[in-house]
Amino acid sequence: MQIQGQIVDIENRRIYAGEITVENGKIISIIEKNHDVQHYIMPGFIDAHIHVESSMLVPSEFAKIAVLHGTVATISDPHEIANVLGKAGVYYMIENGKKVPLKFHFGAPSCVPATTFESAGAVIDSEGIKELMASPDIYYLAEMMNYPGVLFDDEEVLKKIEWAKHFDKPVDGHAPGLRGEAVQKYISAGISTDHECFTFEEAEEKLALGMKVLIREGSAAKNFEALIDLLPENYQNMMFCSDDKHPDDLIVGHINLLCARAVAKGIDVFKVLLAACINPVNHYKMNVGLLKENDAADFIVVEDLVDFKVKQTYINGELVAKNGESLVKQVPFETPNNFNITSKSIKDFEVSGKGSKIRVIEALEGQLITNEIHQKSLIIDGKIVSDTENDILKMAVVNRYQNTKPAIAFIKNFGLKKGAIASSVAHDCHNIVAVGTSDEEICNAVNLIIKNTGGVCAVNGAENKMLPLPVAGIMSDKNGWETGKLYQEIDAMAKKLGSNLKAPFMTLSFMALLVIPDLKLSDKGLFSGNTFSFVDLEVED
């Protein structure tokens, strides 16, 4: 196969008319050649940190959509399914990913469960990490969210890091807001990246200390605007990632959109593409070609270097996407799960109150972090209930692995005026999380999730919309377009019920994520990420 175009040589900062010859999945020659072809041939895009599960698609279905946007490979942390199914979940993702051309590079999840303050479906200890790290299918130790464990020299945490070093594989970080001596110790433990920076100053400090910083722009957490101005001076040590990408957003675009936004800001295109296409390959020693002779023929054809509209995507010399049509074939897959609870009653969601102030989780648009605020509780018949007038809504987290009493808290900024929403996509343990305007509506939403052994739903009286997620309770058994369409319908219903969040379900999924401060809710209770301890719902006036 021969293909002509304007060759984009990112590392040597040149563009020239040329011709590429491919045989048996490899580039055997790249030559300069005069022609009138104006499209550009360049290395493919790489998402440098993503949980494929958060697309609600199995890897083979994720690949069908991602290749349309020029994505040829990912650095994928199977942390979500591992919290449900353990090592078996990791192997499930690897094997499913191998059935399609897109090059998934999976890591060994370092924090399963993420903390001891919540109930997960499995545990992966240091011996489990040893087994995974020995596999050639595992490329790195995935995000070390337990940064307190690193700082306080937790033996089990340090063993996991040592196994990564033993197998000469990098260690990913996860330390939002960590600064000063604490971040210095964290980095000195051998942790090489962070995708959780949410301020310019934090990222600048971590870069200065030798850490690689990923610019994240996902469905909920959006840090592009805060960090992008660091790229011109730090392009050799930065990458792009989505972290979490819901199916409707994935249909619209992927890393290509971040490149277009960066170029629109006037940032040098070669610096942008180094971060998007080259740096991840070098850092993680990925099995991805970089448009060089003898490399795997992994490249894309784009109309221009402004909007990066993808005309063709090639992986190992195979044309996998052309003019908006995905050529990745459908493959069969199983639907393993781990749901072990029965339906709940309305009384399960009642909580008594004294009429004092309560701690309230303040959700923030586009952020994983939350604030703790104190508000007057609304008491009816001795019970604390949702206060829709002041947007203080009841939230519940329900253990999906065994029958226990739901944990209750209150949250601000979801904006619902009626009904409830619920999801079994709830980082990191994927218990059921729900927010609603009444105990009855919350109960109905939770029971709909239980009935379907996982999914996301919106309910309002007799009306409901449900997206079943039978694969581990977090992924669909349908294709991306079907999943995306139904997700859009449920998202629209949540907004019709009053939510003004851009991504209410993605935001909801992070309200049980204890390792991101401050106030969150696990199935065991209300938790402060600042003190790393449980706190009471009611506070003294």
Residues 213 and 106 in one domain: yes
Give residue-wise pLDDT tens across range 398-450. 999 999 999 999 999 999 999 999 999 998 899 999 999 999 999 999 999 99
Give residue-wise pLDDT tens across range 320-335. 999 999 999 999 999 9
> Residue 278: which domain range?
45-287
CA-to-CA distance for 70 and 299, rounded, in angstroms? 8
Question: Does a structural domain hold residue 19?
Answer: no
Give residue-wise pLDDT tens across range 376-405. 999 999 999 999 999 999 999 999 999 999
Q: Is pLDDT above 90 for 516?
A: no
Q: What is the band of 233 on the pLDDT scale with cuts at 50, 70, 90? A: very high
Tally of domains within the chain: 2
- Quote the tokens at residue 440: 């009855």
Give residue-wise pLDDT tens across range 35-87. 999 999 999 999 999 999 999 999 999 999 999 999 999 999 999 999 999 99
Element (H, E) at 231: helix 231-234
Cis peptide before 518 (omega within 30 of 0): yes
What residues does 359 pair with on adjacent strands? Answer: 374
Over range 90-98, report the average pLDDT: 98
Which residue do the tokens 């090639």 mark? 314
CA-to-CA distance for 81 and 93, rounded, in angstroms? 8
Residues 359 and 251 in one domain: no
Residues 355 and 269 in one domain: no
Residues 62 and 179 in one domain: yes
- Quote the tokens at residue 154: 């937790």
Give the percent of the chain with pLDDT over 70: 100
- Quote the tokens at residue 78: 């199977």
Over range 171-196, report the average pLDDT: 96
Question: Where is pLDDT greater, at 514 or 526?
Answer: 526
Judging by beta carbons within 10 Å of its beta carbon (0-12, 13-18, 19+), is residue 482 exposed, middle or buried?
Answer: middle
What is the torsion angle, in degrees rounded to the nearest 10, for the CA atoms of residue 182, residue 183, residue 189 and residue 190? Answer: 180
**What are the CA-CA distances from residue 457 to residues 250, 278, 484, 536 (Å)?**
20, 39, 14, 29
Over range 481-501, report the average pLDDT: 96
**In terms of DSSP bridges, do strands 357-363 and 538-539 run parallel, antiparallel, or are they unpaired?**
antiparallel
CA-to-CA distance for 410 and 1, rounded, in angstroms? 60
CA-to-CA distance for 393 and 441, rounded, in angstroms? 12
Question: Does a structural domain hold residue 316?
Answer: no
Angle in degrees, CA 95, 96, 99, rounded to 5: 95
CA-to-CA distance for 130 and 161, rounded, in angstroms? 10
CA-to-CA distance for 226 and 392, rounded, in angstroms? 29
CA-to-CA distance for 335 and 52, rounded, in angstroms? 16
Q: Is pLDDT above 90 for 493?
A: yes
Q: Is pLDDT above 80 for 366?
A: no
Question: Does a structural domain hold residue 337?
Answer: no
Give residue-wise pLDDT tens across range 186-204. 999 999 999 999 999 999 9
Residues 114 and 259 in one domain: yes
Nearest CA-CA partner of 177 in 194, 193, 161, 189? 194
- Quote the tokens at residue 541: 């006036």
**What are the CA-CA distances from residue 496 to residues 329, 366, 488 (Å)?**
36, 20, 12
Query: Is 341 within 8 Å of 476 (Cβ atoms)?
Result: no
Quickly list DSSP for 516-531.
Answer: SSSEEEETTEEEETTT
Question: Does a structural domain hold residue 341?
Answer: no
The lowest-confidence range among 241-250, 395-404, 464-473 is 241-250
Whole-model pTM?
0.93
Question: Does a structural domain hold residue 458?
Answer: yes
**In terms of DSSP bridges, do strands 191-194 and 325-326 run parallel, antiparallel, or are they unpaired?**
unpaired
Residues 282 and 399 in one domain: no
Q: What's the mean pLDDT when you consider all of the chain?
A: 96
CA-to-CA distance for 213 and 369, rounded, in angstroms? 18
Q: What is the band of 116 on the pLDDT scale with cuts at 50, 70, 90? A: confident
pLDDT of residue 275: 98
Question: Does a structural domain hold residue 504?
Answer: yes
Give residue-wise pLDDT tens across range 265-300. 999 999 999 999 999 999 999 999 999 999 999 999
Inter-helix orientation angle 200-208/180-188, to 10°: 50
CATH classification of the domain holding 282: 3.20.20.140
Residues 281 and 351 in one domain: no
**What are the CA-CA distances from residue 340 to residues 3, 248, 467 (Å)?**
54, 29, 19
pLDDT of residue 44: 98
Residues 377 and 517 in one domain: yes
- Quote the tokens at residue 468: 């079943």
Query: Is 38 within 8 Å of 6 (Cβ atoms)?
Result: yes
Q: Where are the beta strands (DSSP E) in 266-386?
A: 299-302, 310-315, 318-322, 325-326, 357-363, 370-376, 378-380, 383-385
pLDDT of residue 541: 62
**Sign, Cα dihedral of 292, 243, 104, 485:** negative
Exposure of 150 in the CB half-sphere (CA atoms within 13 A): 27
Beta carbons within 10 angstroms of residue 507's beta carbon? 25
For 322, phi then psi, to 5°, come to -150, 120
Question: Does a structural domain hold residue 492?
Answer: yes
Residues 444 and 516 in one domain: yes
Residues 241 and 356 in one domain: no
Which residue do the tokens 């009444």 mark? 438
pLDDT of residue 148: 87
Domain boundary among 256, 287, 318: 287
What is the SS3 assignment for 83?
A: helix
Residues 196 and 121 in one domain: yes
**In terms of DSSP bridges, do strands 310-315 and 318-322 run parallel, antiparallel, or are they unpaired?**
antiparallel
Question: Does a structural domain hold residue 308?
Answer: no
CA-to-CA distance for 426 and 240, rounded, in angstroms? 24
Contact partners, residue 481, CB within 8 Å, separation at least 6: 65, 251
Residues 49 and 163 in one domain: yes
CA-to-CA distance for 277 and 235, rounded, in angstroms? 12
Max CA distance (Å), the chain: 82
